[in-house]
Amino acid sequence: MTDHRTLDRPLLGIALMLGFCLLIPLGDAIAKLLASRVPVGQIVFVRFATQALILIPVSWALGQSLRIPRRLLPAVLLRTVLQMAGITAMFNALRYLPLADAVAIAFVMPFIMLLLGKYVLGEAVGIHRLGACLIGFVGTLLVIQPSFAVVGLNALWPLAVAFIFAFFMLVTRKIAKDTQPIPLQAVSGLLATGLMLPLFWLGNSVGIEGLSFALPHRDTWLLLAAAGILGTVAHLMMTWSLHYAPASTLASMQYLEIPIATVVGWLIFSELPNLLASLGICLTVAAGLYAILREQRASKAAPPDADRAAPIA
Protein backbone atom coordinates (compact mmCIF):
# COMPACT_ATOMS: atom_id res chain seq x y z
CA MET A 1 0.00 0.00 0.00
CA THR A 2 1.31 3.47 -0.83
CA ASP A 3 2.21 5.51 2.24
CA HIS A 4 -0.22 8.44 2.51
CA ARG A 5 2.69 10.72 3.34
CA THR A 6 3.99 10.45 -0.22
CA LEU A 7 1.01 12.59 -1.19
CA ASP A 8 1.21 14.96 1.78
CA ARG A 9 4.73 16.39 1.74
CA PRO A 10 6.31 16.18 -1.73
CA LEU A 11 8.37 19.34 -1.18
CA LEU A 12 10.02 17.75 1.85
CA GLY A 13 10.80 14.65 -0.21
CA ILE A 14 12.35 16.81 -2.95
CA ALA A 15 14.39 18.74 -0.36
CA LEU A 16 15.69 15.50 1.15
CA MET A 17 16.69 14.14 -2.27
CA LEU A 18 18.44 17.43 -3.02
CA GLY A 19 20.34 17.01 0.24
CA PHE A 20 21.38 13.54 -0.89
CA CYS A 21 22.65 14.92 -4.21
CA LEU A 22 24.67 17.56 -2.34
CA LEU A 23 26.19 15.31 0.32
CA ILE A 24 27.21 12.34 -1.83
CA PRO A 25 29.70 14.31 -4.01
CA LEU A 26 31.14 15.91 -0.85
CA GLY A 27 31.67 12.46 0.65
CA ASP A 28 33.28 11.29 -2.58
CA ALA A 29 35.55 14.35 -2.60
CA ILE A 30 36.72 13.53 0.94
CA ALA A 31 37.34 9.93 -0.13
CA LYS A 32 39.42 11.26 -3.03
CA LEU A 33 41.48 13.34 -0.58
CA LEU A 34 41.96 10.27 1.61
CA ALA A 35 43.04 8.03 -1.28
CA SER A 36 46.62 9.34 -1.12
CA ARG A 37 46.79 9.06 2.69
CA VAL A 38 45.37 5.69 3.73
CA PRO A 39 44.69 2.32 2.03
CA VAL A 40 41.30 2.06 0.34
CA GLY A 41 40.30 -0.84 2.60
CA GLN A 42 40.63 1.40 5.63
CA ILE A 43 38.33 4.00 4.07
CA VAL A 44 35.74 1.29 3.35
CA PHE A 45 36.04 -0.08 6.91
CA VAL A 46 35.42 3.32 8.53
CA ARG A 47 32.58 4.00 6.07
CA PHE A 48 30.67 0.88 7.15
CA ALA A 49 31.59 1.10 10.84
CA THR A 50 30.22 4.66 10.90
CA GLN A 51 27.09 3.46 9.11
CA ALA A 52 26.51 0.84 11.81
CA LEU A 53 27.22 3.26 14.67
CA ILE A 54 24.71 5.78 13.33
CA LEU A 55 21.93 3.53 12.09
CA ILE A 56 21.71 1.03 14.96
CA PRO A 57 20.59 3.76 17.42
CA VAL A 58 18.31 5.25 14.73
CA SER A 59 16.66 1.84 14.24
CA TRP A 60 16.14 1.45 17.97
CA ALA A 61 14.78 4.99 18.27
CA LEU A 62 12.24 4.23 15.54
CA GLY A 63 11.30 0.96 17.20
CA GLN A 64 12.49 -1.09 14.23
CA SER A 65 13.96 -4.50 14.95
CA LEU A 66 17.40 -5.43 13.61
CA ARG A 67 16.36 -9.08 13.27
CA ILE A 68 16.58 -10.35 9.70
CA PRO A 69 14.46 -13.41 8.76
CA ARG A 70 16.73 -16.44 8.48
CA ARG A 71 15.64 -17.18 4.92
CA LEU A 72 16.84 -13.71 3.87
CA LEU A 73 20.28 -13.89 5.51
CA PRO A 74 22.11 -15.26 2.41
CA ALA A 75 20.62 -12.47 0.26
CA VAL A 76 21.46 -9.82 2.86
CA LEU A 77 25.03 -11.12 3.06
CA LEU A 78 25.33 -11.08 -0.75
CA ARG A 79 23.89 -7.55 -0.82
CA THR A 80 26.45 -6.44 1.77
CA VAL A 81 29.36 -7.95 -0.18
CA LEU A 82 28.15 -6.24 -3.36
CA GLN A 83 27.83 -2.92 -1.55
CA MET A 84 31.35 -3.30 -0.15
CA ALA A 85 32.69 -4.14 -3.61
CA GLY A 86 30.85 -1.24 -5.23
CA ILE A 87 32.05 1.35 -2.72
CA THR A 88 35.59 -0.02 -2.92
CA ALA A 89 35.50 0.26 -6.71
CA MET A 90 34.22 3.84 -6.45
CA PHE A 91 36.97 4.82 -4.03
CA ASN A 92 39.53 3.26 -6.39
CA ALA A 93 38.03 5.21 -9.28
CA LEU A 94 38.43 8.45 -7.33
CA ARG A 95 42.16 7.77 -6.96
CA TYR A 96 42.66 8.03 -10.71
CA LEU A 97 39.81 10.04 -12.25
CA PRO A 98 38.35 13.52 -11.84
CA LEU A 99 35.36 13.50 -9.51
CA ALA A 100 32.82 14.50 -12.17
CA ASP A 101 34.11 11.89 -14.66
CA ALA A 102 33.92 9.08 -12.09
CA VAL A 103 30.37 10.03 -11.06
CA ALA A 104 29.18 10.45 -14.66
CA ILE A 105 30.54 7.06 -15.78
CA ALA A 106 28.92 5.35 -12.78
CA PHE A 107 25.57 6.76 -13.90
CA VAL A 108 25.48 4.10 -16.61
CA MET A 109 24.04 1.93 -13.82
CA PRO A 110 20.35 2.79 -14.53
CA PHE A 111 20.82 1.63 -18.12
CA ILE A 112 22.38 -1.64 -16.94
CA MET A 113 19.40 -2.05 -14.60
CA LEU A 114 17.01 -1.66 -17.53
CA LEU A 115 18.85 -4.33 -19.52
CA LEU A 116 19.03 -6.71 -16.54
CA GLY A 117 15.35 -6.10 -15.89
CA LYS A 118 14.54 -7.06 -19.47
CA TYR A 119 16.85 -10.02 -19.96
CA VAL A 120 17.15 -11.39 -16.40
CA LEU A 121 13.83 -10.53 -14.74
CA GLY A 122 11.72 -10.58 -17.92
CA GLU A 123 10.40 -7.04 -17.40
CA ALA A 124 8.85 -5.16 -20.32
CA VAL A 125 11.31 -2.63 -21.73
CA GLY A 126 10.30 -0.83 -24.91
CA ILE A 127 12.37 0.22 -27.88
CA HIS A 128 12.54 3.84 -26.66
CA ARG A 129 14.21 2.91 -23.39
CA LEU A 130 16.54 0.47 -25.15
CA GLY A 131 17.53 3.34 -27.45
CA ALA A 132 18.17 5.51 -24.39
CA CYS A 133 20.43 2.73 -23.05
CA LEU A 134 22.44 2.77 -26.27
CA ILE A 135 22.86 6.56 -26.20
CA GLY A 136 23.76 6.42 -22.51
CA PHE A 137 26.49 3.85 -23.21
CA VAL A 138 27.85 6.03 -26.03
CA GLY A 139 27.93 8.99 -23.65
CA THR A 140 29.76 6.90 -21.07
CA LEU A 141 32.37 5.84 -23.63
CA LEU A 142 32.97 9.50 -24.48
CA VAL A 143 33.64 10.21 -20.80
CA ILE A 144 35.91 7.17 -20.43
CA GLN A 145 37.98 7.79 -23.58
CA PRO A 146 40.07 10.81 -22.46
CA SER A 147 40.61 9.29 -19.00
CA PHE A 148 41.58 5.95 -20.55
CA ALA A 149 44.27 7.72 -22.56
CA VAL A 150 45.79 9.04 -19.32
CA VAL A 151 45.33 6.30 -16.69
CA GLY A 152 44.67 3.20 -18.82
CA LEU A 153 42.49 0.42 -17.42
CA ASN A 154 41.97 2.33 -14.16
CA ALA A 155 39.48 4.47 -16.11
CA LEU A 156 37.14 1.46 -16.06
CA TRP A 157 36.69 1.45 -12.27
CA PRO A 158 33.45 3.51 -12.44
CA LEU A 159 32.09 1.07 -15.00
CA ALA A 160 32.75 -1.70 -12.46
CA VAL A 161 30.85 0.42 -9.92
CA ALA A 162 27.86 0.57 -12.26
CA PHE A 163 27.76 -3.18 -12.90
CA ILE A 164 28.23 -4.07 -9.23
CA PHE A 165 25.50 -1.72 -8.04
CA ALA A 166 23.15 -2.94 -10.76
CA PHE A 167 23.38 -6.45 -9.27
CA PHE A 168 23.20 -4.90 -5.78
CA MET A 169 19.85 -3.35 -6.75
CA LEU A 170 18.58 -6.66 -8.14
CA VAL A 171 19.25 -8.30 -4.77
CA THR A 172 17.71 -5.35 -2.94
CA ARG A 173 14.54 -5.68 -5.03
CA LYS A 174 14.23 -9.30 -3.94
CA ILE A 175 14.30 -8.50 -0.22
CA ALA A 176 12.89 -4.94 -0.08
CA LYS A 177 9.32 -6.01 0.71
CA ASP A 178 10.43 -8.11 3.69
CA THR A 179 12.87 -5.68 5.32
CA GLN A 180 12.93 -2.13 6.63
CA PRO A 181 15.55 0.04 4.87
CA ILE A 182 17.19 1.55 7.95
CA PRO A 183 17.63 -1.73 9.90
CA LEU A 184 18.81 -3.36 6.66
CA GLN A 185 21.53 -0.73 6.25
CA ALA A 186 22.42 -1.00 9.95
CA VAL A 187 22.85 -4.78 9.67
CA SER A 188 24.83 -4.31 6.44
CA GLY A 189 27.15 -1.94 8.30
CA LEU A 190 27.69 -4.53 11.03
CA LEU A 191 28.26 -7.36 8.56
CA ALA A 192 30.68 -5.32 6.44
CA THR A 193 32.65 -4.22 9.51
CA GLY A 194 32.97 -7.84 10.62
CA LEU A 195 33.96 -9.01 7.15
CA MET A 196 36.67 -6.37 6.86
CA LEU A 197 38.56 -7.56 9.95
CA PRO A 198 39.76 -10.91 8.51
CA LEU A 199 40.45 -9.12 5.21
CA PHE A 200 42.84 -6.78 7.03
CA TRP A 201 44.56 -9.79 8.60
CA LEU A 202 44.91 -11.37 5.16
CA GLY A 203 46.12 -8.12 3.61
CA ASN A 204 48.79 -7.61 6.26
CA SER A 205 49.85 -11.26 6.01
CA VAL A 206 50.37 -11.38 2.24
CA GLY A 207 51.15 -7.72 1.64
CA ILE A 208 48.04 -6.55 -0.22
CA GLU A 209 48.49 -2.76 -0.30
CA GLY A 210 44.81 -1.82 -0.36
CA LEU A 211 44.01 -4.08 2.63
CA SER A 212 46.80 -2.97 4.95
CA PHE A 213 45.89 -1.05 8.10
CA ALA A 214 47.85 2.06 9.04
CA LEU A 215 47.37 4.33 12.04
CA PRO A 216 46.58 7.70 10.44
CA HIS A 217 47.16 11.19 11.81
CA ARG A 218 44.40 12.92 13.75
CA ASP A 219 43.31 15.11 10.82
CA THR A 220 43.05 12.00 8.65
CA TRP A 221 40.81 10.36 11.24
CA LEU A 222 38.58 13.43 11.05
CA LEU A 223 38.36 13.09 7.27
CA LEU A 224 37.61 9.37 7.59
CA ALA A 225 34.82 10.09 10.07
CA ALA A 226 33.45 12.86 7.85
CA ALA A 227 33.34 10.54 4.81
CA GLY A 228 31.46 7.91 6.83
CA ILE A 229 29.00 10.39 8.31
CA LEU A 230 28.29 12.11 4.98
CA GLY A 231 27.72 8.80 3.19
CA THR A 232 25.42 7.48 5.92
CA VAL A 233 23.40 10.68 6.33
CA ALA A 234 23.07 11.06 2.55
CA HIS A 235 21.60 7.56 2.22
CA LEU A 236 19.27 8.25 5.14
CA MET A 237 18.04 11.39 3.37
CA MET A 238 17.47 9.42 0.18
CA THR A 239 15.55 6.71 2.07
CA TRP A 240 13.36 9.19 3.91
CA SER A 241 12.73 11.24 0.76
CA LEU A 242 10.84 8.25 -0.63
CA HIS A 243 8.40 8.42 2.30
CA TYR A 244 7.30 11.90 1.31
CA ALA A 245 7.44 12.00 -2.50
CA PRO A 246 6.90 9.39 -5.24
CA ALA A 247 9.96 7.74 -6.77
CA SER A 248 8.77 8.99 -10.17
CA THR A 249 9.17 12.55 -8.90
CA LEU A 250 12.58 11.99 -7.34
CA ALA A 251 14.29 9.77 -9.93
CA SER A 252 15.26 12.56 -12.33
CA MET A 253 16.65 14.64 -9.46
CA GLN A 254 19.48 12.15 -9.00
CA TYR A 255 21.11 13.48 -12.14
CA LEU A 256 21.76 16.71 -10.24
CA GLU A 257 24.58 14.74 -8.63
CA ILE A 258 26.65 15.08 -11.83
CA PRO A 259 26.73 18.91 -12.08
CA ILE A 260 27.16 19.14 -8.31
CA ALA A 261 30.12 16.75 -8.52
CA THR A 262 31.53 18.91 -11.32
CA VAL A 263 31.34 22.03 -9.13
CA VAL A 264 32.81 20.22 -6.10
CA GLY A 265 35.65 18.82 -8.22
CA TRP A 266 36.40 22.27 -9.61
CA LEU A 267 36.37 23.97 -6.19
CA ILE A 268 38.47 21.36 -4.36
CA PHE A 269 40.67 19.81 -7.04
CA SER A 270 40.56 22.41 -9.86
CA GLU A 271 39.22 19.66 -12.15
CA LEU A 272 36.86 20.19 -15.06
CA PRO A 273 35.82 17.64 -17.71
CA ASN A 274 37.34 18.29 -21.14
CA LEU A 275 35.14 18.93 -24.20
CA LEU A 276 34.73 15.26 -25.14
CA ALA A 277 33.91 14.21 -21.59
CA SER A 278 31.47 17.12 -21.25
CA LEU A 279 29.66 15.97 -24.40
CA GLY A 280 29.52 12.44 -22.99
CA ILE A 281 28.11 13.71 -19.68
CA CYS A 282 25.40 15.66 -21.52
CA LEU A 283 24.47 12.58 -23.57
CA THR A 284 24.34 10.38 -20.47
CA VAL A 285 22.14 12.83 -18.56
CA ALA A 286 19.81 13.37 -21.54
CA ALA A 287 19.46 9.63 -22.15
CA GLY A 288 18.86 8.98 -18.46
CA LEU A 289 16.17 11.65 -18.19
CA TYR A 290 14.47 10.33 -21.32
CA ALA A 291 14.54 6.78 -19.95
CA ILE A 292 12.97 8.05 -16.71
CA LEU A 293 10.24 9.85 -18.70
CA ARG A 294 9.42 6.67 -20.59
CA GLU A 295 9.50 4.71 -17.33
CA GLN A 296 6.98 7.12 -15.79
CA ARG A 297 4.67 6.77 -18.78
CA ALA A 298 4.94 2.98 -18.68
CA SER A 299 4.24 2.65 -14.96
CA LYS A 300 2.23 5.72 -13.90
CA ALA A 301 -0.62 3.45 -12.83
CA ALA A 302 1.74 1.40 -10.63
CA PRO A 303 2.70 2.33 -7.02
CA PRO A 304 6.06 4.07 -6.46
CA ASP A 305 9.03 1.69 -6.38
CA ALA A 306 11.84 2.75 -4.09
CA ASP A 307 14.43 0.85 -6.08
CA ARG A 308 14.07 3.18 -9.06
CA ALA A 309 15.39 6.07 -7.03
CA ALA A 310 18.28 4.21 -5.49
CA PRO A 311 21.63 5.96 -5.15
CA ILE A 312 24.73 5.24 -7.22
CA ALA A 313 27.07 5.21 -4.28
pLDDT for the residue 174: 81
pLDDT for the residue 54: 93
Q: Is the pLDDT of residue 3 over 70?
A: no
What is the model's pTM? Answer: 0.81
Place 298 in a pLDDT band, splitting at 50, 70 and 90.
low
Half-sphere exposure of 44 (CA within 13 A, CB side): 31
Q: Is the pLDDT of residue 66 over 50?
A: yes
Angstrom distance (rounded) from CA 310 to CA 313: 9
pLDDT > 90 in the chain, percent: 26
Q: Is the pLDDT of residue 300 over 70?
A: no
For 185-244, write each residue's pLDDT tens digit: 899 999 999 999 888 887 777 777 777 777 777 788 899 999 999 988 988 888 788 777
pLDDT for the residue 191: 95
Q: How many helices (H) and strands (E) does the chain have?
A: 13, 0
Q: Considering only CA atoms, which of 229, 235, 230, 223 is closest in space to residue 23?
A: 230
pLDDT for the residue 1: 43
End-to-end CA distance of the chain: 28
Angstrom distance (rounded) from CA 259 to CA 25: 10
For 87-108, write each residue's pLDDT tens digit: 999 999 998 999 989 998 888 8
Q: Is the pLDDT of residue 4 over 70?
A: no
pLDDT, averaged across the chain: 82
pLDDT for the residue 248: 62
For 9, list phi and psi in degrees, rounded to 5.
Answer: -135, 60
Angstrom distance (rounded) from CA 169 to CA 185: 13
Place 121 in a pLDDT band, splitting at 50, 70 and 90.
low
Angstrom distance (rounded) from CA 246 to CA 12: 11
Place 308 in a pLDDT band, splitting at 50, 70 and 90.
very low
61-70, 124-133, 161-170, 190-199: segment of lowest average pLDDT:
124-133
Compute the average pLDDT of residues 271-276: 85
pLDDT > 70 in the chain, percent: 88
24 vs 133: which has the higher pLDDT: 24
